[in-house]
A and B are shown apart, each in its own frame.
Chain A
């Protein structure tokens, strides 16, 4: 047994070394900036400032707005992606003519680069060059055909729609896989017992899918919370911070103000929040596994 004890380390070593060198070490460096005054290109910066950035953050309206927007952006995007992805997976789980072709086409949005989908949707929402505002007006949802990306009350919906478009395939694929792994006999037995499709869904499908759902939703939530590309490309966080999320705020702090110190402090806060969230989900998963 001694002989084999080093085996697992041999297998994980390449990955661990690479991630430690390229992601973790820079992350630690990056987070250390949070306690220093680092303004890129300013030779006089670099002093240790302790918790000053965090103190400033508490009084920074833009930060709190971005935090609130992050919550909305993440929860709405993931809920819609999940809900629609699940619906799509359920639809694809039935034999249908041409299903393979349909399936392959429906998953194409995932192959499109994020910034490109942002550009295309921004184009679609622009009344001068895109059809959506006019269709929305015709459907009675808008009083006049204007650009929702310019209206602070609804601007966030633009990137959300683009995000949902792009993210449905991810959930559809993983949930379809999970659905297809449930043996058909369980459903047959339930039908014989008289359970209708809704009851089968609630009593069989959901519980068996639960661990997968929990893990994929958690992963996706973390990704979406960090996903600034769509917002930066479509609205740059505007108008007036209406679409600014923490990830895009960090981007603008780092690359417009060149204030890497403050940007890293905000990133540290975001990281802590997401770690807390992940820990909560893992605990929930363990509790469910122990019960079920």
Chain B
């Protein structure tokens, strides 16, 4: 099956452009894992085969240091041609003019009409210009441990936040088990946003006048709800410092029975849990009947200082054309960018139904984080982590935490508005 896809990918490649012998392209991946690197290498190999004389150097940055590594490299002038671009970094590179606009290439590409609306909207999140070509989406859903649920006498996942809390309380009564795998450490912002928005009944981060809405009573009720969940012992005590790996490990060891995650967590879980022991359900709805799971995206970008732009675009279409994208997403677990791909057998497996149910439900409003704001990465990775830990530990009140967040985002929004003038 893989070979057929690769063959198809090769056939879909644009005809080789005449090129001098020995052109070197530099491709940087950042969400590196051994399996992804292997897949990329095979996609790159078929690209090189159809473009004789072109050599692609694949640079795999370890994820833990990729952010600062790429920043140091590019700041010192060591600039690659194509880079894997997470949504959070887009404003840092796109907003400072380092990325090449892909609009002219998209206008001429024959696959562009096959992209779903979301793909193009998200590609244009910064400055209304497409600085990246997404390869997939990540939509949060609720993973739940069926085995532990059965043990607690629960036969279905919670559909509302009240039910979630009640279920967590029942599970916490089982010795050694806890209800919710809270991500109190790095990467926890998405969780706070989802619960906050659900209680607030809105996912608007800003008021029309540009001030942040995070200080409003609704959002405050949401963050307080989550903090109370932790304080009442419904999440493990250590979870105040948990990042992705700890949260997923907590889930598959059964230490906590529910976790909110993206489809890419499936890969780690499938290796360690039996399919009948876990399920994926739409994220529970708030008091007004709506839920706001966060939507993330990652894609490929081209640097403006690249010396082989047309060739770089060719590489991007090889990686992200319909065939290449399918191969890649099978490995990464992201939801597809092509409208036709939703029908592929890969996505027909029962575990994916939770996500497709979310996408089809009108009361589910996918929420895009304001990643286009300058300084958003610092907000998400430092400010939120520190202040949320302080709030969980009772060192500051939830009101203070929300106020700090609102103040920072308001300032960032203002800076963005000034930058655009």
Q: Do chains A and B touch in the complex (CB under 8 A)?
A: yes
Min CB distance B280 to A, Å, is: 23
The residue on A at minimum CB distance from B69 is A255
> Smallest distance from the beta carbon of B314 to chain A beta carbons, Å?
27
Measured between beta carbons, the chain A residues less than 8 angstroms from B72 are 40
> Which of chain A's residues have a CB closer than 8 A to the CB of B241?
147, 149-150, 235, 238-239
Interchain CA distance A235-B389 in the complex, whole Å: 13
A127 interfacial contact with B, CB 8 Å: yes
Which residues from chain B contact A235 at a C-beta distance below 8 Å? 241
Proximity bits, A118-137, B CB within 8 Å = 1, else 0: 00000000011000000000
Chain B, interface SS category: helix
Q: A42-B96, A235-B241 are in contact. Are A258 and B385 (CB under 8 A)?
A: no
Contacts A41-B98, A128-B249, A236-B186 given: A241-B75 contact, CB under 8 Å?
no
- Cβ–Cβ contact B68 & A255, under 8 A: yes
The SS class assigned to the A binding surface is loop
What number of A-B contacts does a CB cutoff of 8 Å give? 68
Task: Say yes or no for B93: interface residue by CB 8 A criterion.
Answer: yes
Decide: A150 and B240 in contact? CB cutoff 8 A.
yes
A40/B237 contact (C-beta < 8 A), A257-B378, A257-B382 known: no
* Chain A positions within 8 Å of B275 at CB level: none
A256 to B385, CA, bound (A): 12
Q: Please, which residues of chain A bring their CB within 8 A of the CB of B385? A: 238
B359 at the interface (CB under 8 A from A): no
Residue B390 lies at the interface, judged by CB distance under 8 Å to chain A? yes
Contacts of A69 in B (CB 8 A): none
Kindly state whether residue B173 has any CB partner on chain A within 8 Å. no
Q: Given the known A-B contacts A256-B378, A258-B71, are A43 and B240 also in contact in the complex, defined by CB atoms under 8 Å? A: no
B406: interface (CB < 8 Å): no
Using Cβ atoms and an 8 Å threshold, which residues of chain B touch A200? none
What are the interface flags for A222-259 relative to B under an 8 Å C-beta threshold, 1 for contact and 0 otherwise?
Answer: 00000000000001101111000000000010111110
Query: Which B residues are CB-close (under 8 A) to A147?
Result: 238, 241
Closest to A233 in B: B64
A128 and B250 alpha carbons, distance in the complex (Å): 8
Flag if A146 contacts B93 (CB, 8 Å): no
Q: Is the CB of A240 within 8 A of B386?
A: yes
The docked-state distance in angstroms from the alpha carbon of A3 to that of B411 is: 68
**A43–B93 alpha-carbon span in the complex (Å):** 11
| Candidates B97, B250, B378, B393; contact of A43 at CB < 8 Å | B97
CA distance A62 to B390 in the complex (A): 12
State whether A239 touches B97 (Cβ < 8 A).
no
Would A240 and B390 count as touching, CB distance under 8 A? yes
Q: Is A152 part of the contact surface with B, judged by Cβ < 8 Å?
A: yes
Contact between A41 and B67, CB atoms less than 8 A apart: no
Is B151 part of the binding interface, using a Cβ–Cβ cutoff of 8 Å? no
For A62, what are the chain B residues with a Cβ–Cβ distance below 8 Å? Answer: 386
B221 at the interface (CB under 8 A from A): no
Q: How far is the CA of A241 from the CA of B240 in the complex (A)?
A: 13
In the bound complex, what is the Cα–Cα distance between A239 and B72 (angstroms)?
Answer: 27
Give a binary string over B228-241; 1 marks a CB under 8 Å from any A CB, 0 the rest: 00000000011111
The answer to whether B240 and A239 touch across the interface, beta carbons within 8 angstroms, is yes
Q: 1/0 per position for B362-378, CB-CB distance to A under 8 A?
A: 00000000000000011
B139 at the interface (CB under 8 A from A): no
Q: How far is the CB of B64 from chain A (nearest CB, A)?
A: 9
A41 touching B93 by the CB < 8 A rule?
A: yes
How many angstroms between the C-alpha atoms of A257 and B67 in the bound complex? Answer: 10
On whether the beta carbons of A240 and B93 are closer than 8 Å, the reply is: no
Contacts of A127 in B (CB 8 A): 238
Chain B CB within 10 Å, residue with most, of A146, A152, A236, A239: A239
- In the complex, what's the smallest C-beta–C-beta distance from A143 to chain B, in angstroms? 11
The answer on a CB contact under 8 Å between A41 and B238 is no
Query: Contacts A146-B238, A235-B241, A238-B385 known; A128 to B253 CB distance under 8 Å?
Result: yes
Shortest Cβ distance from residue A113 to the other chain B in the assembled complex, whole angstroms: 15
State whether A146 touches B237 (Cβ < 8 A).
yes
* Cβ contacts under 8 Å, B240 to chain A: 150, 239
Contacting pair A41 B96 (CB below 8 A): yes
Q: How far in angstroms is the closest Cβ of chain A from B407?
A: 15
Enumerate chain A residues within 8 angstroms of B186, measured Cβ to Cβ.
236
- List 5 additional A-B contacts (Cβ < 8 Å) besides A127-B238, A240-B386, A255-B65: A40-B75, A128-B250, A152-B393, A239-B389, A239-B393
Give 19 pairs: A residue, B residue, CB < 8 Å, sorted on A: A40-B71, A41-B96, A41-B98, A42-B96, A62-B386, A146-B238, A147-B241, A149-B241, A150-B237, A235-B241, A238-B241, A238-B386, A239-B184, A239-B389, A255-B65, A255-B68, A255-B71, A256-B378, A258-B68
Chain A to chain B: the 9 pairs with minimum beta-carbon distance, closest first = A255-B68, A240-B389, A150-B238, A150-B241, A240-B390, A239-B389, A147-B238, A40-B75, A257-B378
Spell out A's residues near B (CB within 8 Å): 40-43, 62, 127-128, 146-147, 149-150, 152, 235-236, 238-241, 252, 254-258
